[in-house]
Amino acid sequence: MTIAKGDTLPETTFVTMTENGPEAVESKSYFAGKKIALFSVPGAFTPTCSAKHLPGFIEKAAELKAKGVDEIACTAVNDPFVMGAWGKSAGADGTVTMLADGNGAFAKAVGLEMDGSKFGLGTRGQRFSMIVNDGVVEELNVEAPGDFKVSSADHMLGQL
């Protein structure tokens, strides 16, 4: 079942890259007491994700925070080394927290996985965004396959 507005996020574990290497991030504690703009991409370094999705959230970070967002996070079914390298290459350090969902546990738990095997990608997370307030989904924006409209930072700004 796909997560919906008003639902509490399931408990899963992400991994993020730190100066000391990969570090586990428990979803329950990460989302507790904060308003987080979370977006998911099918893969780091992929065309739309690198040209539009991540850069849009980096560019609009100050505007999102001015509207009450405490933190911006990006997740993808990639390992933490790839997510860390992608974040550095895009200039996301200090702006967007890169949360690796290496085994796809989060994508599966929220019911937003996709089959990218015809492109050699295996199971991935769909392209979506959500506003999460203290672990509860306030807004959910799921893209149609191949689209990039409702999960953008600009769209999210209009929701805040």
Q: How many CB atoms lie within 10 A of CB 24?
A: 9
Q: Is 139 helix (H, G, I), strand (E, B) or coil?
A: strand
- Give the angle 115-2-5 at the CA atoms, nearest 5°: 135
Q: Read off the tokens for 48.
A: 């739309």
Catalytic residue annotation: 49
What span, in angstroms and rounded, lies between the C-alpha atoms of 71 and 64?
9
